[in-house]
Every structure is written in C-alpha cells, then in structure tokens.
Amino acid sequence: MPIETYTDDRMNLDEAQLVLIDWPGQIKMPKVGIVQDVGAFPSWTKYVRFCENNSIPFEVYTIRDYDWLEKAKEFDVIIGFASCAIFDLEEMRYKYFILETVLKKSCYSSLQNILLYENKFFESELSKIFNFPFITTYISCDKKDAHSLIENLVFPVVSKIVPSSGSIGVELIRTTAEAKRLIRQAFSQNGRKIHIVYARQKNYIYFQKFIPNDGYDIRVIVVGNMVFGFYRKAPKSDFRASGMHNEEMRSLPEEAIKIARKVYEKINSPLLAVDMVHGLDGNFYINEFSPIFEMSTLNQLKVDGVPGAYVFDKNDEYQFFECKYWVHELALKEFFQNHYFQKFTISEKKNNY
C-alpha cells in the first residue's frame, strides 16, 4: 500500500468493547481535531470511535494542508500523528512544537512523544539517564571518534539507522573491517546509501552490542494500569525478529512486564511499547521503546488462547482479565484522564492561592 494512502476501517471495529470515560462536570468538553495517519493499520479511526462513543465533538484535522495553522484555531485538542517517514517526522515535529508550546493546544501525541518516536539516539541517551536495562549502545557523530570507538568493540555488533522500523536498516557488522567501511561511507560527502531512496546515513554511526538470546524478542505494551504484549520469533537464518511477522501470543514474563512499566513511568506517555530480548545470560535487555507504533490487530495479548490484558491494582499486583479493547482507545482515555484533566486541576490549585 502506498505510504500516502489513508485507510478507513471503521466498519470493522465493533467487535471491540467500548472504552468510556467519566467526564468531570466542571470541565468543558474540548473540540478535538483528529489527524489521520497513513497506512494499512490506522489509529485515527479508533480515535473517531472513542470520540463518538463518548459524545466528544471532533473533526478530522487536515494538518498537512497549507492553512493548517488557521484550522488549528478551531480545536482545543489535537489527536493523532501522520507516519514514521522522514518527511512526516520533520513536518510534524515543527508543527506540534507550534501547536503545543506556542498555541497552547493539548496534543496527543505530545511534542515529547514525537521527538522520541523513531529517534534511537534519544532512546539510548534517556536510558542512560534513567538507568534502563538498554542494550549497550555506541553512538558517534564524529569520524575520528568513530574510528577510535570501534577499536575497542567486541564484534559482531548491530548497526542501525535513524529513523527505521520493522528491522529495516538493521545490520550485523561482523568485523572491524566492515565497521571501518561503514564509517567511511557514512562520513563521506554524500553519506551511505540506505533503504530510503531519498535519504542517506550521514555523519553518524549507531552500534549496539549483539546479545545472544533465545531467538525471540518481546514487545510489552503499557497503557495506564494495563499491560499487553506478544513474542516475535526471528527466522532461523536471521537475528532480527521485528517486522518478520512471526508473532506468538502467550503469557509474558513478569520481569519483562516490570521493566516495561518502569520505562512507562519515566517516559510519562499515555501509551508505550517496549521491545526487549531475553539474553542467554538470563537477563532482559531493551533494544527499543516508542510512544507511537502501529497495531495491526485488536488483540495485543492472549494467554492460553484467551484475549485479554494484565491489569494492575493499587498495590502493584496484577491479574489477567479477559477483554477485547482497541489499545488506541485505552490510550486516548489515559490521555484525557491523566494528562488533559491535569491542566484544569493545576489551574484550580493556582486560583486557590
């Protein structure tokens, strides 16, 4: 499907349970602008469903149009995002900066979410600050430093480009000679060819330690007090699992869930996916995390063939409950309850002083 194509699957969404929100009487409902994302598995249709079921006024917001700034005046809240393509990322980042910081619109995805989305540099540096069990990562934007760096690496290492998803742009670099060749190309005048025909890997390297593992990676999805997730199996001839469409639905390891919830708490996003591998040393290592991601199916977790979610209580204990929700709608409820409503709570406290 061409990347420019919008998909409308609203006629196929009714199998999911409704996600309803208890709207505080003292807070006026906002006018919501919903940004359409492109591709085969849209989020915008779930946002429309949520607004319709909760009687929240909305319109589709054509943020790519020439008069996007004028149209923004019609909305109090902007919901949605376009795509992970480089040109979309560049456009959305400056537009959401204006929407959120200049026009003071409430946005989901937030500017912080959008800056983090498909930015592996940002993920790695935040992980160092917050002490996440992120795979040891080496980033350099200087040619001389990059050459010095690889002299002390243990090969093989995993090379990644920014942005990329679904294992595209992920390579195994087996020797120092291969690393030197990559550096020479990346720091050349024209940069290094990648899978994107109009872009290059230019003036950076991103290497990760190769973690021998059990042949799977695990995606853990956190939204509020609920956790979903699944396994992705790497093909026998490959070390990459993401994007290979070998998903397995079964119970998630408790340690992986704990790690994902810790990341979720620090990142402070309504929704977060944390991808990790289980090393042969018995430890879990994060290779990526993102507040924005594509979901192709209604059921993002199954235990013994039963769709559902792990639900945490106030004592941080959890149980599996059978349910069928579009995670996008749960995330929107989380955004309103624990992000949007907070603006009014803070405002009330200020007015009381």
Cβ pair 76, 155 in contact under 8 A: no
Instruction: List pLDDT tens digits, range 17-76.
Output: 999 999 999 999 999 999 999 888 999 999 999 999 999 999 999 999 999 999 999 999
Picking from 179, 209, 239, the residue at the C-terminal end of a domain is 209
End-to-end, the C-alpha distance of the chain in Å comes to: 56
Give the residue, 341 or 82, on which the prediction is more confident.
341
Question: Would 221 be classed as within a structural domain?
Answer: yes
Say whether pLDDT at 4 is over 70. Answer: no
Structural domain boundaries, residue 30: 10-114
- Averaged confidence pLDDT in the chain: 92
Could you tell me the two tokens for 158?
Answer: 């995993």
Helix (H) or strand (E) holding 289: strand 284-290
Q: Where are the alpha helices (DSSP H) in the chain?
A: 44-53, 68-72, 86-97, 111-116, 120-130, 143-150, 176-186, 254-267, 327-335, 341-351
Determine the Cα–Cα distance for residues 247 and 218; give it in Å rounded to an integer.
9
Phi, psi at residue 128, to the nearest 5°?
Answer: -65, -45
Cβ proximity of 277 and 216 under 8 Å:
yes
Residue 22 domain-assigned (yes or no): yes
Q: What pLDDT score was predicted for residue 298? A: 94
Bridge partners of 137, per DSSP, are 208
Task: Single out the residue of 87, 85, 1, 7 nearest to residue 43, CA to CA.
Answer: 7
121 in a structural domain: no
Region of residue 329 (phi > 0: left; psi between -120 and 50: alpha; otherwise: beta): alpha
CATH number at residue 191: 3.30.1490.20
pLDDT (tens digit, 9 = 90+) per residue, 220-278? 999 999 999 999 998 776 555 554 568 899 999 999 999 999 999 999 999 999 999 99
How far apart are the C-alpha atoms of 142 and 164, rounded to whole Å? 21
pLDDT-based confidence at 2, cuts 50/70/90?
very low
Domain co-membership, 169 together with 257: no
